[in-house]
Amino acid sequence: MKKKDWLWVFLPLIFSWGIDRVTKLWATTLTTHAFYGPVGFILHHNHGAILGIFSDLPSVLRIVSLSTGGAFLLFLFGILQFLLPTKSLALRAGLSFLIGGIIGNVTDRIVWSYVVDFIVVGSPQYFSPAFNFADAIQWVGYSLIVVAFLKEGKSLWPIENLRKSYWINPKFQLKYCFTLMLCGMGLTLILGTYSYTYLRVALNETQGIGGIQTAAFLGPFVMTFTIVSLTFCVVLFVVGLILSHRTVGPLYAFERFMNDYIDGKPAHLKLRTGDEFKELENLAKKLKKLNVANPKSSRSKSG
Ranges of beta strands (E only) in the chain are 34-36, 39-46, 115-121
**Rounded to an integer, what distance in angstroms lies between the CA atom of residue 70 and that of residue 75?**
9
From 20, 108, 135, 275, active-site residue: 135
- Write the single-letter amino acid at 189: L
Residue from 229, 165, 170 nearest 195 by CA: 229
Q: Which residues pair with 34 in a beta bridge?
A: 41
Indicate if 275 belongs to the active site. Answer: no
Distance of CA 37 to the CA centre of its chain: 38
Measure the CA angle with vertex 32, ends 28 and 38; round to 5°.
100
**Rounded to an integer, what distance in angstroms lies between the CA atom of residue 10 and that of residue 4?**
10
From 20, 108, 117, 275, active-site residue: 117
Indicate if 260 belongs to the active site. Answer: no
Residue from 269, 274, 271 nearest 242 by CA: 274
Measure the CA angle with vertex 116, ends 19 and 28; round to 5°.
80
* Number of residues in the chain: 303
Give the residue numbers annotated as catalytic, written as ranges. 117, 135
